[in-house]
Amino acid sequence: MLANTKKILEKARKENYAVGHFNINNMETVQAIVKAAENLKSPVILAISEGAIKYAGLEYLYNLALISSKNSKVPIALHLDHGKDLKIIKRCIKIGFSSVMIDASHENFETNINLTKKIVKLAHKKKISVEAELGTIGGIEDYVSSKKIIYTDPYKAEEFVKRTGCDFLAVAIGTSHGAYKFKGKAHLKIDILKQIQNKVKIPLVLHGASSVPKNIVNLAEKYGANLKGVKGVPEKQLTTSVKNGICKVNTDTDLRISFDAAVRKVIKNQPKDFDPRHILGPARDLIQKTVERKIKILGSDNKA
């Protein structure tokens, strides 16, 4: 059975560690994440974006997660990432996700509150928890320009959580989605995070948390990728964020680069091999290693 995201994250908040949210699009990625979680006895959150639904189909991805959770000894939750389309959010609630995100962060404060309240009401009826977002995280949500990231206002965050009844809050403290997070030195606003943590007593979520590990980038580039200028969140800053209230850490880009690097390597080294299992198997293995590394950084190993 799928695990309860709220329970997983409330435990993490009490015991001061974070649980990894990892985006899934296909079977290999699901298997890699689940195996990593099982190896390290860690709870884990599988996440599906609206783009993933478009690519693979809601029922396919839901059932991959469901089968994994049925066969596993560790808690595996299923979450809708960046829900913007109300119809999709409702489908995820209906089919039985563990949690959904309503991302109305691009709307004004009152509209964000109203949309979030509406989803909270629908989801809570089915005991499904809700993540909402306040402020803007760069990258895919950066509707204005990458220079215009709006950090979460701690006072507004307090009011937002009170008025919406959301279960987890995604905060904007300087991260952005994708592989190009910082032009200069990486810097998260830990001072803002501390203020939010003082005012908001629910689990906080860090989006855009990929570290873009050098060894994986080097591997991908060795086999032909062009990843000039990529920069992620340094692992030390992730640890600091977790110490200051981040309980859910979202990672997608690191899995994508791992997949890419491993596939490129096989194709280059084995030009006569066209068996998809030989091409995708090493990608699965490398994603597993990447997830294991992340779980250890977040401190959720042995917490299942």
Footprint of ligand 13P (CB under 6 A)? 23, 81-82, 177-178, 207-210, 250-253
* Among 79, 82, 181, 303, interactor with ligand G3H by CB under 6 A: 82
Own/partner long-range contacts of 227-231 (Cβ < 8 Å, ≥24 apart): 227/179, 227/257, 229/180, 230/179, 230/180, 231/179, 231/180, 231/181, 231/182, 231/186
Nearer to Zn ion, 13 or 207 (CB): 207
C-alpha angle 139/121/57, rounded to 5°?
Answer: 50
Nearer to ligand 13P, 23 or 244 (CB): 23
Binding mask 170-199 for ligand G3H (x = CB under 6 A): -------x----------------------
3-class SS at 168? strand
Q: Interface with ligand G3H includes 303 (CB under 6 A)? A: no
How many helices (H) and strands (E) the chain has is answered by: 12, 8
Rounded Cα gap, residues 51 and 13, in angstroms: 30
Rounded Cα gap, residues 135 and 151, in angstroms: 5
* Among 5, 29, 42, 49, interactor with ligand G3H by CB under 6 A: 49
Size of the site for ligand G3H (CB under 6 A): 9
Tell me how far, at minimum, the Cβ of 71 lies from ligand 13P, in Å.
Answer: 25
Nearer to ligand G3H, 79 or 284 (CB): 79
Nearer to ligand G3H, 23 or 195 (CB): 23
Q: List the interface residues with Zn ion, window 215-274 (CB under 5 A).
A: 250
Tokens of 243: 């110490």
Rounded Cα gap, residues 150 and 158, in angstroms: 16
Residue 75 amino acid letter: P
- Return all residues near 60 (Cβ < 8 A) that are at least 6 apart: none
Max CA pair span of the chain: 60
Question: Using CB distances below 5 to 8 A depending on partner kind, what does residue 210 bind out of ligand G3H, Zn ion, ligand 13P, none?
Answer: ligand 13P
Tell me how far, at minimum, the Cβ of 269 lies from Zn ion, in Å.
Answer: 34
Question: Using CB distances below 5 to 8 A depending on partner kind, what does residue 244 bind out of ligand G3H, Zn ion, ligand 13P, none?
Answer: none
* Residue 81 a catalytic site member: yes
Helix or strand holding residue 267 (H, E)? helix 253-269
Q: List the interface residues with ligand G3H, window 210-269 (CB under 6 A).
A: 252
Q: List the interface residues with Zn ion, window 160-219 (CB under 5 A).
A: 207
Q: With contact defined as beta carbons under 8 Å apart, do 204 and 167 qualify?
A: no
3-class SS at 44? strand
Nearer to Zn ion, 85 or 273 (CB): 85
Nearer to ligand 13P, 152 or 253 (CB): 253
Helix or strand holding residue 119 (H, E)? helix 109-125
Point out the residues that are catalytic.
81
Q: For binding to ligand G3H (CB under 6 A), which residues are involved?
A: 23, 49, 51-52, 81-82, 140, 177, 252
Q: For binding to Zn ion (CB under 5 A), which residues are involved?
A: 207, 250
